[in-house]
Amino acid sequence: MASKSEKKYRKIKRTHIVGSLIWFILFAAISACIIVAAVQMLLAYVIDTKISSEYESLEYMAKLYENGKAAGNEDIYAILNEEGHGYVITGNDGNVIYANGENTISSEGGPVTLPVKDEQVLVYRDTERGYVFPSNSGRLALDLNAFRKWMSSDLDIEEKDPEFIDVNNSILNLPIWISFDAGEGEHFIGKAIFRANRRDSIMFVTLIAVIAVLIVVILIAMLTEAIKSFVRQRRMLDLFFKDMVTGGHNWTWFLVKGEQLLKKRIHSNDKYAVVNLVFVNYRNYCMCHSVAEGEKLLVSVYKKINSYIGSREMCAHTTSSNFAILLKCSDELEAGERLKRLIGSLETIDPDHKFSFQAGAFIIDMEKGLGGRRFTKDDIDLDTAYNNASTARTTLDDNDDSGIAFFDEKLMEEHKWLDTVQERQQAALDNEEFLVYYQPKYDPRTNELKGAEALIRWNSPEFGIVPPGRFIPIFEKNGFITKIDHYMIKHVARDQKNWLDKGFKCVPVSVNVSRAHFVENDLADQIRNMVDEAGTPHEYIEIELTESAFFDDKRAMIRTINKLKEYGFAVSMDDFGSGYSSLNSLKDMPLDVLKLDAEFFRDENAGRRGEIVVSEAIKLAKNLNMRIVAEGVEVRDQVDFLAGEGCDMIQGYFFAKPMPGDKYEEKMAEGKAEISQAEADVSAP
């Protein structure tokens, strides 16, 4: 299957030059036919014109014979002989009655229309010099092949036929026999001579030459245009494959020519490493210097890479600071060593700077292929191979140092899982495969149920229960998370309404809303409308925002929070202290609830310093009129400490792990958590 780039490349190759060549060949063929037809038409016209005078003379002789015969004139043959034409008179039985001159009438004859005669006349070919003959089209024609053979013989003109050609007067004599009805079943068949002199030949040849020259001129013009089209096509291909920054090759060239190279090597035992090489410091360099200086540096990097690779290897500048490389190698170890040496030389390409380069590589094994079988031409997909290399390179994103990463089976499985999730996500949503789980929140002093958090699980028919960590990060990257947010809000609102109708003592349930949603100006209205559609009072729905969301558009965030509070929804900040904490955010954001990140309670080495941080965070939240929720709490000592510090609610395995809606109903019915340290379930679900 050809890639899109290869299809475009083939289309450009066919553009102009193929069309021009087709038109050139077609026109040349038509021109040849026109020349042949023109020659035949001109010959027919000349022959008809020359024969016309002969026809009139022979017609006169035929009438003279008919009249003389009727009058009984015995001297009629002598009178006819004085006319200087050869003739033959036949009876109604076809036998010759009289002949003047040699009878060379051929049996090959047929009707012909002459310019001087509207009706057809019967003519016969001459047996000795039968170069003029009646054609099937009803016109006189010249047998050019027979004439050419006669002219090409080794005999002199006089030896060939002195009566046929008068060399001194440059006259060509070509006979044809014309038959006339002479009455009483007799026929007068006269010998007409087609005579062409030098002037006729010159005019004929000149006319044909003019036609031929015109056609040749047109053909030359078309050939010139075809050549120009070819040159334009080459220029288009150069532009199609040219990288405007480095002046070298671009990604399209790499894709098209790379696949061509691999297909040529398909039956070899070679291995190739497809490499995504990234210039890590490029943006910083441009900021400190200029974009123009940065592009000059990219040119140097491109030239350096090309000086390093061999004849059956390739390099192209793809995007910004990315380069695509195709390296021949025996195995992953050799590819790694070569890339290490290349990166080492690139790090010091400018003596005044120390740069970093990261490479992701994917090994194409022509013998084994991807599934343990030998490659075929249809298996070669350089675009996918490069994506795999890029995926491997992204594993180095957390570090700005130089490095090399190879695409392995684990990454392949992750890549397949990513594709699987994205293929099934919409169907899973439509089929309501996503389940809402609830994790209760308890007051650490009274063990009373004070709230809950709605959490998502995926009950896949194929994979079973899939934890959120396996699909939520994918949804956050591809934008599907916004649909999940809507799904969760609608389902929680319906559940709350159902429980209220059943008479349960409901508590607020927090629902996570992704930061991706906050680009929408009407987010608060959307949430209100979904909850109102379910008929649930707003105080039973709490909107939970991750701390990282507060570092996007702060004004939009504050505007949305204020509107949510205006509609009666509580708003909480999740994961406070997870690494992005900002006291400024607490100062500016009108939040109702602050959730302390679980990492505060999972670090065994935090000790007294950790307790001080948690204690001060609780005091700060209290002073800002916010309620405190501590999540991830698993042991009694943590519960006692938080209770003593005034923490409002605890969410963690000490009290309860996430559970389906029917189990949560039981917790609501109980109202209080009856639990001891010995009963605490501290194992992961």
pLDDT level of residue 222 (50, 70, 90 thresholds): confident
Let me know if residue 238 belongs to a domain: no
The total number of structural domains that make up the chain: 3
Q: Is the pLDDT of residue 156 over 70?
A: no
Highest mean pLDDT among 138-147, 530-539, 593-602: 530-539
Residues 559 and 631 in one domain: yes
Interhelix angle for 481-502 vs 409-430, to 10°? 50
> To 5 degrees, how large is the angle CA 396–CA 402–CA 403?
50
Share the mean pLDDT of the chain.
81
- Residue at 328 is within a domain: yes
Which residues touch 101 (CB under 8 Å, ≥6 apart)? 86, 87, 191
The proportion of the chain whose per-residue pLDDT surpasses 90, expressed as a percent, equals: 34
pTM value? Answer: 0.57
pLDDT at 475: 92
**Same domain for 432 and 392:** no
Is 166 within a domain? no
Rg, Å, the chain Cα set = 50
As a whole number of angstroms, the distance between CA 234 and CA 17 comes to 10
Asked, for residue 86, whether it belongs to a domain, the answer is yes
Q: How far apart are CA 315 and CA 57, in angstroms?
A: 88
Q: How many CB atoms lie within 10 A of CB 323?
A: 25
What pLDDT was estimated at residue 678? 37
Mean pLDDT of 490-519: 91
pLDDT in tens, 163-185: 444 434 445 677 889 999 988 88
Beta strands in 259-402 (DSSP E): 271-279, 314-317, 322-329, 357-365
The amino acid sitting at 625 is N
More confident residue, 227 or 335: 335
Which pLDDT score is estimated for 167? 39
Q: Are residues 181 and 314 in the same domain?
A: no
Task: Work out the angle at residue 462's Cα, subtended by the Cα atoms of residues 460 and 465, and round it to the nearest 5 degrees.
Answer: 40
Among 191-205, 247-261, 652-666, which range has the highest average pLDDT? 652-666
pLDDT higher than threshold 80 for residue 627: yes
Task: Identify which has the larger pLDDT, 582 or 673.
Answer: 673
CA atoms 283, 288, 289, 290: torsion sign: positive
CA dist., res. 59 & res. 55, Å (int): 6
Confidence of residue 451 (pLDDT cuts 50, 70, 90): very high
Helical residues (DSSP H) of 503-629, grouped into ranges: 523-534, 554-566, 583-588, 607-623
| Predicted confidence (pLDDT) at residue 45 exceeds the cutoff of 80 | no
| pLDDT tens track for 405-434 | 998 878 878 888 888 999 999 999 999 999
As a whole number of angstroms, the distance between CA 453 and CA 446 comes to 19
Concatenated DSSP letters of 197-212: -HHHHHHHHHHHHHHH
> Residue 390 domain-assigned?
yes
Greatest Cα-to-Cα distance within the chain, rounded to the nearest angstrom: 161
Please report the pLDDT score of residue 305 as a whole number. 94
Evaluate whether residue 401 is within a structural domain: yes
Long-range contacts of 419-427 (CB under 8 A, 24+ apart): 421/470, 421/471, 421/474, 421/475, 422/474, 422/478, 422/480, 424/460, 425/471, 425/475, 425/480, 426/480
Confidence of residue 541 (pLDDT cuts 50, 70, 90): very high
Residue 1 belongs to some domain of the structure: no
Q: Which residues does residue 628 pair with via DSSP β-bridges, in sequence order? A: 594
Cβ–Cβ < 8 Å for 110, 123: yes
H/E stretch holding 110: strand 105-113
User: Is pLDDT at 41 greater than 90 in this prediction?
Assistant: no
Domain that holds residue 120: 17-143+174-209
pLDDT of residue 679: 44
> Six-digit token pair at 432?
């309501």
Say how many Å lie between the first and final Cα of the chain, rounded.
46
Strands 403-406 and 357-365, sheet pairing? parallel
| Weakest mean pLDDT among 259-273, 350-364, 572-586 | 572-586
Domain co-membership, 269 together with 382 = yes
Which ranges in 15-153 belong to alpha helices (H)?
17-71, 76-81, 144-151
Structure letter (DSSP) for residue 192: E
In angstroms, the CA 428 to CA 423 distance is 10
CA distance 581 to 536: 33
Q: Which amino acid, one-letter code, is at 305?
A: I
Q: Both tokens of residue 260?
A: 């061509």
Q: Do 390 and 449 share a structural domain?
A: no
Residues 560, 655 share a domain: yes
Name the residue among 451, 474, 446, 424 with its Cα closest to residue 628: 451
Query: Are 391 and 459 found together in one domain?
Result: no
Contact 684, 602 (CB under 8 A): no
Residues 70 and 198 occupy one common structural domain: yes
Nearest to 404, CA basis, from 331, 336, 332, 328 = 336
Where a domain ends, among 385, 407, 429? Answer: 407
The torsion angles phi and psi of 403, rounded to 5 degrees, stand at: -170, 165
* pLDDT above 70: percentage of residues in the chain: 78
The reply to whether 308 and 191 lie within a common domain is no
With a cut of 70, say whether residue 452 has pLDDT above it.
yes
Say if residue 491 is in the same domain as residue 635.
yes
Task: Provide the pLDDT for residue 552.
Answer: 62
Angle between helices 607-623 and 636-645 (to 10 degrees): 40
- Lowest average pLDDT, out of 80-94, 108-122, 217-231, 573-587, goes to 573-587
Of 375, 407, 439, the residue that ends a domain is 407
pLDDT higher than threshold 90 for residue 40: no
Q: SS3 for 221-255, per residue?
A: HHHHHHHHHHHHHHHHHHHHHECCCCCCECHHHHH
Please tell me the distance from the alpha carbon of residue 455 to that of residue 452, in angstroms, as a whole number.
Answer: 9
pLDDT at 162: 45
**Residue 255 pLDDT exceeds 60:** yes
The whole-number pLDDT of residue 42 equals 66
Q: pLDDT per residue over 367-412, tens digit each?
A: 655 445 555 656 678 888 898 899 899 888 777 889 999 988 788 7
- Residue 682 pLDDT exceeds 60: no
Mean pLDDT confidence for 482-509: 95
Cα of 290 vs its chain's centroid, Å: 35
For residue 538, the domain's CATH number is 3.20.20.450
Q: Is residue 215 part of a domain?
A: no
Check which CATH number belongs to the domain holding 321 and give it.
3.30.70.270
Residue with the bigger pLDDT between 25 and 112: it is 112
Based on the domain organization, do 437 and 569 belong to the same domain? Answer: yes
- Whether 306 and 449 map to the same domain: the answer is no
